[in-house]
């Protein structure tokens, strides 16, 4: 029995990369190798990408073929890049569904209050007045 194939919903592409810091010191800049990340960031943002986190960038309207061409163009214009890059991935941005609103509706307020009351009871300590030693 074959399971029905469901096409994934895709919106654009995601580019992620990893650079070799030691190689950046040789081929990019000995004094500020981390500046390479800023160069890449400016280039990708100029071309419509949004910075997500670390070295991940999202473009909602660019497919992976165009994104790959853009990265190749960057590599040709920045001779240090091919020498210093450990990894470059261009993948489709598959839509995700945030379940937090649905999960939040499952909140049991009575359970929450019970647990918070237990915690408060555990934290209660006997009051001992401070005595200064002379």
Whole-model pTM over 0.75: no
In contact, 15 and 68? CB cutoff 8 Å: no
DSSP state of 49: -
pLDDT at 35: 97
pLDDT in tens, 14-53: 999 999 999 999 999 999 999 999 999 999 999 999 999 9
69-86 residue pLDDT tens:
999 999 999 999 999 999
Q: How far is CA 96 from the centre of its chain?
A: 14
The sheet carrying 10-19 orders its strands as: 50-53, 56-59, 10-19, 85-94
Q: Identify the pLDDT of residue 125.
A: 52
Distance CA 23, CA 19 (A): 8
Of the pLDDT bands very low, low, confident and very high (cuts 50, 70, 90), residue 3 is very low
- Domains defined for the chain, CATH in brackets: 10-94 (3.30.70.240)
Q: Work out the pLDDT band at 1, boundaries 50, 70, 90.
A: very low
Q: What is the pLDDT of residue 30?
A: 95
């Amino acid at each position: 029995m074959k399971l029905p194939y469901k096409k994934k919903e895709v919106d654009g592409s995601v580019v992620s990369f990893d650079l070799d810091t030691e190689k950046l010191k040789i081929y990019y800049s000995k004094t500020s190798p981390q500046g390479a990340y800023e160069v890449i960031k400016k280039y990708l943002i100029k071309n419509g990408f949004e910075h997500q986190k670390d070295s991940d960038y999202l473009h909602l309207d660019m497919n992976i073929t165009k994104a790959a061409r853009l990265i190749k163009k960057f590599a040709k214009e920045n001779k240090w890049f091919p020498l210093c890059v450990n990894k470059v991935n261009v993948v489709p941005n598959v839509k995700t569904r945030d379940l937090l609103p649905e999960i939040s509706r499952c909140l049991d307020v009575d359970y929450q209050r019970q647990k918070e009351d237990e915690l408060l009871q555990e934290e209660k300590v006997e009051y001992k007045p401070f005595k200064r030693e002379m």
